[in-house]
Copies of this chain bind each other. A is one copy, B any other.
Amino acid sequence: MPVDDLCVSRVPIFQGLTREEQLRVAEFVRPVHVAKGETVYSPGQSVSRLLVMHSGQLKVSHAAANGQEQILRTVTDGDVVGERAFLTGHLPNDLVVALEDSRMCVFDHTDLSALLRDYPDVGLRMLRTLSDRLASVERLLAAITSSDVSARIAAYLLDLPGSIRDGVPTVWLPLAKYEIASYLGTTPETLSRRLAALSASGVIELHGRRDVTILDIDGLERVATPR
C-alpha cells in the first residue's frame, strides 16, 4: 500500500519509527483527501477521529455563545486535530474546515489506543506536538492581554511563513482578513485601519487582498514589541 505508507511516513509523529513499524501503523490509517471549503469536523459529531495533517491547511474555529465565530488556529503539515475527543472522551465542539485542498491520515480511536501502547515513541511525539500548541496558545494569550492590536498584527505577520519575492520578504495571508481579525481578538474594521496605518508609515505594503510585502522588518519588530 504505497499511498498509506506515504501518508504515515510523511508525518512527524511517525518519524522515528522503523520502516517496518511504519508499515504496520499504516494498516490502521486511512488517507483522506478533502477539497477546499469542505467541512472536516463539525461540533457534536459523535464519530470522532484523529487527524494528522500531511499537506494543505485547515482552520479550526469555535462557535462562541454569542454566535460569533472565534478562530482558534490554523493547522498545517504535521499538526494533529481531534486528539481531545480521543483522549478525554468528550465530543468535539470545534468546527474544522479546509482552507485548501488537504491530505491527512485518519485514525479511529480504538486503533489509536493500541497504537500508542505499542509505539511509545508516537506518544512522545504527540506530546511534543501538543506541548508546542500549548506554548503557542499561551503566547497568543499573553500577546492579546498585554499588547495593543498593532503589536499583535505585527507579531502575526512576523510569525507567518514568509517567502522572498524580488528580494523583499513577502507573506501570503492564509485567512481572510475578517478571520485574522477574529484570531487576533479584534474586529475587521480595526484590523483594516491598523494595516492601513502600517502601510502609511512605510513598514509594509499591501497588494491585492492577501499579499503583504514587508518593507521594514526591524520597524515591524519594533511595533510587535511595544513599551
Asked if A137 lies at the interface with its beta carbon under 8 angstroms from chain B, I say yes
The A interface, classified by DSSP as helix, strand, loop or mixed, is: helix
A190-227 contact mask (Cβ, 8 Å, vs B): 1 or 0: 00000000000000000000000000000000000111
Interface residues of A in 119-159 (CB under 8 A from B): 120-121, 123-124, 126-128, 130-135, 137-138, 140-142, 144-147
Q: Are B87 and A131 in contact (CB under 8 A)?
A: yes
Q: Are B142 and A70 in contact (CB under 8 A)?
A: yes
Which of B116, B132, B134, B185 is the one whose CB lies under 8 Å from A124? B116
Give Cα A127–Cα B125 distance, bound, in whole angstroms.
10
> Can you pick out 11 interface pairs between chain A and chain B where the beta carbons lie within 8 Å of each other?
A62-B138, A64-B142, A66-B226, A68-B146, A84-B131, A87-B124, A87-B128, A116-B120, A118-B120, A120-B123, A123-B124
Number of interface residues of A (CB under 8 A): 41
Q: Are B185 and A144 in contact (CB under 8 A)?
A: yes
Query: What residues of chain B lie closer than 8 Å to A225, measured between beta carbons?
Result: 65
Which of B120, B131, B138 is the one whose CB lies under 8 Å from A72? B138
Asked if A110 lies at the interface with its beta carbon under 8 angstroms from chain B, I say no
List the number of copies, as a whole number: 2
Give Cα A72–Cα B144 distance, bound, in whole angstroms.
13
Q: Are B146 and A70 in contact (CB under 8 A)?
A: yes
Q: Assess A127 versus B134: contact at CB under 8 Å? Given A64-B142, A68-B146, A140-B141.
A: no
A70-83 contact mask (Cβ, 8 Å, vs B): 1 or 0: 10100000000001
Q: Are B134 and A88 in contact (CB under 8 A)?
A: no
With CB as the reference atom, state the residue of chain B lying closest to A225.
Answer: B65
Give Cα A83–Cα B133 distance, bound, in whole angstroms.
13
